Amino acid sequence: MDVLPPGTILQLMYLKERISGLEPGRFFEMGAGAGHMSHLLLSLGGIESFRFVTDNDRNVA
């Protein structure tokens, strides 16, 4: 398990707080990151519309 930088932790906390009242739905995340936002959204019941798995993504879960 990776240790996340403080800025990433705060960003994920903020996102979780902002979407906490929404019903789960589909999302599309595109980027070269490690997939932390996708992991958060999936853990809250979201359904990813498209997934292109990279080596970084495999290390998040």
Domain range annotation of the chain: 6-60
Supply the pLDDT for residue 42.
Answer: 87
Residue 18 has a pLDDT of 93
Please tell me the predicted confidence (pLDDT) of residue 41: 87
- Whose CA is closest to 16, among 28, 24, 5? 24
**The predicted structure's pLDDT at residue 37:** 86
Instruction: Tell me the CB-side half-sphere exposure of residue 14, using CA atoms within 13 A.
Output: 6
AA identity, residue 26: R
State if pTM tops 0.85.
Answer: no
CA atoms 49, 28, 16, 7: torsion sign: positive
What pLDDT digit, counting tens, does each position of 6-58 carry? Answer: 999 999 999 999 998 888 888 877 776 788 888 888 898 888 766 665 555 55
pLDDT of 59 strictly over 60? no
